[in-house]
Chain A
Amino acid sequence: MKIAVCIKRVPDSETRVKIASDGKSLDEAGVKFILNPYDEFAVEEALRRKEQAAGGEVVVIALGPAAAQETIRTALAMGADRGILLQLDRIPMDGLEVAQALAAELKGAGFDLILFGKMAIDDYNHQVGPMVAELLDLPCVTTVAHLEIEGGKGVAEREIEGGVEVVEFPLPAVLTADKGLNDPRYPALKGIMAAKKKPLEVKSVSPGGGARGLEILALTLPAERKEGKIVGEGPAAVPELVRLLREEAKAL
């Protein structure tokens, strides 16, 4: 089974956001970058599918700056076979531009599965996987929390409001991984050492051709919530809380 996993380098989820001097982007000074957590589920799933099939290849593809090589090495250390970096200075905010660059790389490469995380924890775009599927005219299931594949067909479960959708699809297909799909492995020391020698190809790309459909006007910090009040201590404070919720906050 030949599997591609599209991954992204993102700021760690514990990052305290500081706005850069341009007023439109994150100040990256001192920020620790990680492999997008949802992409870890995608990498893990690819590795398990390859292990089950007892053959094949797992290729990780990232679009991003030169530093995203480290992110690719993390996936290689988990067990992926080789990596491709589609290098540019800044990842476009327009998910369609990202999808177009990835689709161009994936097209005709003969992957049985193309996996993504369901979204990146920085831009929350939640769109690149299904866009790639549309561009390549492949079947796609998003936010997959359970997956079975047999004989060129798959059954996926995805969470919806108040239930779980059971979805059937043929391979090749594009899937995006949700938390719960599996338990991603930690790279072992042996894997980290091996990853240094695995092939990593770097290609430069310039998606979008400069015509920006989405223009960033500003990145701002949300208004601080007004500091609230401690109504009181213990159960004796409950009637006053309920009164405030009803009369002051009008939340009941």
Chain B
Amino acid sequence: MSHVLAVLEQRDGALRKVSHEVVTGARRLADALGGNVDALILAAGAVRGADQLGRFGADKVITLTNAAFGMYAPEGYARAIAERVQSGGYGAVVFAASATGKDLAPRVAARLGRPLAQEVTDLAVEGGAVTVIRPVYAGKALLKLKINGAPAVISLRPSVFTPVERPKAGTQESATAAVPAGRVIVRAIKAAEAGTLDVAEAPIVVSGGRGLKEPANFKVLEELAAAFAGRAAVGASRAVVDAGWRPHADQVGQTGKTVSPTLYVAVGISGAIQHLAGMRTSKVIVAINKDKDAPIFKVADYGIVGDLFEVVPKLTEEIKKQHG
């Protein structure tokens, strides 16, 4: 019997939403391994939302507190987690492949002397060993790996493991982590504009390409995103990021972010192979383009051929009605 440690994330004392996905993935592994899910939160004090984790399948919720743990403290976090893994004898450790998780998981894995599978999109237990699927070559191929030995250390790509309610006890436990904060110190977080969702985590992404013609025209996409009432982020193709129209943080594609939202709306994007790589795992794809032969229509579930400056405002209007 092997237990699974789910490493969760908080910001400003509140649990980040991606944590429910991590518990959901960890629960699947724990069920297959016949063990429990321990959810681990590192923070400066009590974390809002920790008491809800039992709903998603956490048997136990452990909050490790340290005065330096309010912000991400890479070295202190890595040491505290690695010590917990070693003393707990876990069969698997699951992170989110978020900005923090992708930084933290390699440190913990190296401390444990264990391999790491980042950005996992599917997982299973076969013959007692954890197996995972990870997209490689920017999603142009899928790699299936078997992780020999324990613990299996993995991170889950955001937005792939849809949270599932699986009520468990969710017993709360708290302890202080007596570790030094480390040499690397996060001094501040410069927040993006209030309410801005990250393209990698938004359930809906509305992306624009060269068809927008000029940077100011992204306003039509921002209006469409706003119509989804806080659930949508605006993304961009490499061409418009390289042209300086949009920040790199918004770029979807092989040298940008890989996204898997519920709905991806590609506007004025022709669909270069390196863009398709970043969004082809979206659940539903809509393309709006004036060129009926654009490659984007080959991957889109639904397409509208037409002038985006006419089609998008109409779509914004219709979506507003839905939310009316």
Contact = CB atoms under 8 A, between A and B. Distances in A.
Size class of the B contact interface (CB-based, 8 Å): 35 or more
Interface in B98-143: 98-100, 102-103, 105-107, 109-111, 113-119, 131, 134-143
Contacts of A160: 98-100, 189
B319 A242 contact: yes
B269 to A, nearest CB: 15
B86 interface: no
A124 B135 contact: yes
Contact of B144 (A15, A218, A230): A218
A146 to B, nearest CB: 11
Nearest to B18: A161
B75 interface: yes
Interface on chain B toward A: helix, strand, loop, or mixed SS?
mixed
Nearest to B261: A251
A53 interface: no
Contact of B148 (A135, A213, A233): A213
Interface in A191-232: 212-222, 225-232
Nearest to B321: A242
A88 to B, nearest CB: 17
Contact of A251 (B191, B262, B307): B262
A168 B197 CA distance: 26
Nearest to B121: A222
A140 B111 CA distance: 14
B315 interface: yes
Interface stretch (A62-70, A76-84, A89-97, A106-114): A89-97
A242 B312 CA distance: 12
Interface on chain A toward B: helix, strand, loop, or mixed SS?
mixed
Contact of A140 (B16, B184, B280): B184
B303 A230 contact: yes
Contact of A232 (B110, B186, B304): B304
B131 A217 contact: yes
A169 B315 contact: no
Given A96-B113, A162-B191, A214 B147 contact: yes
Given A225-B280, A245-B284, A252-B263, A163 B109 contact: no
A231 B302 contact: yes
Contacts, number: 268
Interface string A173-194: 0000011100000000000000
Given A160-B189, A219-B136, A231-B304, A130 B141 contact: no
Given A159-B249, A222-B280, A246-B322, A216 B145 contact: yes
A249 interface: yes
Nearest to B145: A214
A234 B254 contact: no
Given A96-B109, A122-B136, A131-B106, A213 B147 contact: yes
Contact of A93 (B97, B109, B145, B256): B145
A233 to B, nearest CB: 5
Interface string A1-26: 00000000001011111010000001
A135 to B, nearest CB: 6
- Which of B119, B141, B182, B187 has most chain A Cβ within 10 Å? B141
Interface stretch (B28-36, B50-58, B292-300): B292-300
A252 to B, nearest CB: 6
Contacts of A11: 137
Nearest to B203: A251
Contact of B302 (A99, A159, A165, A245): A245
Given A220-B141, A222-B139, A222-B280, A229 B303 contact: yes
B302 A222 contact: no
Given A134-B110, A162-B192, A214 B115 contact: yes
B239 interface: no
Contacts of B256: 179
Given A130-B106, A163-B192, A215 B146 contact: yes
Interface of A: 11, 13-17, 19, 26, 37-38, 93-97, 99, 121-131, 133-135, 139-143, 145, 155, 157-170, 178-180, 212-222, 225-235, 237-239, 241-242, 244-246, 249, 251-252
Given A213-B114, A217-B144, A228-B299, 8 more contacts: A13-B273, A93-B143, A127-B106, A160-B99, A167-B186, A168-B185, A225-B298, A249-B301
Closest 9 CB pairs of A and B: A134-B110, A127-B106, A235-B314, A213-B115, A161-B198, A234-B306, A160-B99, A228-B301, A131-B110
